Amino acid sequence: MSRWIGRTFTSDAGWNLLETLVDIGDRMAGSDGERRGAEATRDALESVGARNARLEEFDVQGWTRGDSAIRAGDSTQDCIALPRSPAESAEGEFVDLGYGLPSDFEDNDVEGKVVMVASNVPSHYDRFIHRREKYYYAVEGGAAAFVFRNHVEGCLPPTGSVGTEDDPIGDVPAVGVSKEVGSRLARRWEGETVVVEVDAEIYDATSRNVHAELGPDTDDRVLVTSHVDAHDIAEGAMDNGAGTAMVVEMARALAEREDELDTRVHFVAFGAEEVGLDGSNHMASVTDHDSIKAIVNNDGVVRGRTLSFYTHGFEELDEAAHDVAETLDHPVTTIPKQGPHSDHWPFVQWGVPGYHVMSETGDEGRGWGHTFADTLDKLDVRDLREQAVLLTDLAVHLASDEFAVAHKDPEEIVAALEAEDQAAGMKVIGDWPYDE
């Protein structure tokens, strides 16, 4: 074991790909940069020994941002459009709804108003409320426009998609503003008329999933995944260049340990995750779910040193993560709750065992993610290598004939979502796939 660990601690395979991805520039879904990122990932997987490295194309709605602004009084306040926002101009009375909790919308009349909400939730609140859920509450309430205020200091307006290609969002423009701009708007223009302007281009485009494999050619497989695309305003180093770099580093290490694999390991770097999990939804729609033994989805790794795993109530996955951590004498955190916000979810929602692998940062919410500050300088190659050791050993463990985990009945996932108070929000944003 020690030899492959030593080589992982000196490998540059994953980090070199990460540098390549961030230097491409814009990797927005359906863009030329995303295509180049997918091709670089395919080539990197092939170079480390994975077989049948290939691209799979699928249709996606392209979206390119133009200029956006908030006109307040005689001033123009900086903002950025949120992806999938319509190209519209709207005006109305400005109202700050604080965190934008469901109760905030229930207790306030937002019809015809420009509504601002924060990107976080109170520390005592029992669940995270996604940006899209807050946006849909505003749309359902008849708001004229939606303003998403960052809770992180640093003059960093947040981005992040609203709506989906299959669920048009109408004519309500959506923008992100920094914490500082949001505070200024609330202080100076609460109750006053403001104008929100969004310019964007919407068109037909093509995205790609990257595939490659290692191990025996079994019917069953362990998926090791990430996503290649990133928001256009930054390098996308943390979200999710690091996850794709991890997939390549794991492939390199697993190629050394291929004779230990009892089950095929299928690597997938998805396209178009940031605009509605389009790449993983596409794969899930054409894949036999029973063939997937388990999923290791890397989205949020390397940002901090300690790995954290959403295990979605699969006790065997929880135990496997801790067993590997104990063997390698390295702490990890497991979270048994459902996590419906990354590329594992189109499979897990139907009962496929899966992890969402992240890392602890000590920050609330996304931190630097989805802002101009998502840059390579905030990551450390040592964390990538160290985490690759744990995740490679975990993949070998999952691929062993000695490891077994049963798929759940979708009704169990439904019950968990309802128990965790996530069902109502998912229904609001159109992410509830189950029959009522």
Q: What is the mean pLDDT of residues 364-376?
A: 89
> Can you tell me the mean pLDDT for 110-125?
95
Instruction: Give Cα separations from 56 to 39, 86, 105, 239, 268 (angstroms).
Output: 11, 29, 42, 22, 10
Pairwise CA distance, residues 321 & 397, whole Å: 9
Model confidence band, residue 239 (pLDDT cutoffs 50, 70, 90): very high
What average pLDDT does the segment 361-373 reach?
A: 85
Mean pLDDT of 412-428: 94
Output the average pLDDT for the chain: 95
Residue 25, sorted as left (phi over 0), alpha (psi -120 to 50) or beta, turns out to be: left
DSSP string, 212-240: EEES---SSEEEEEEE----TTS--IIII
Is the pTM value of this prediction over 0.85? yes
Query: At 70, which helix (H) or strand (E)?
Result: strand 51-72
Return the percentage of the chain with pLDDT > 90, whole number: 92
State the alpha helices, DSSP H only, in 190-314: 242-256, 278-285
What is residue 163's predicted lDDT score, i.e. its pLDDT?
75
Q: What is the mean pLDDT of residues 213-229?
A: 98
Q: Which residues pair with 206 in a beta bridge?
A: 59
Rounded to whole angstroms, how far apart are CA atoms 96 and 77?
Answer: 15
State the Cα–Cα distance between residues 433 and 430, nearest whole angstrom: 8
- Residue pLDDT, tens place only, 259-296: 999 999 999 999 999 999 999 999 999 999 999 999 99
- Assign 436 a pLDDT band (cuts: 50, 70, 90): low
Q: Answer whether 81's CB lies under 8 Å from 174's CB.
A: yes
Average pLDDT rounded to a whole number, residues 31-41: 98
Residue 127 has a pLDDT of: 87
pLDDT one-digit tens code per residue, 299-340 = 999 999 999 999 999 999 999 999 999 999 999 999 999 999
Confidence of residue 30 (pLDDT cuts 50, 70, 90): very high
What is the per-residue pLDDT for 126? Answer: 85
Nearest to 191 by CA among 106, 92, 328, 71: 92
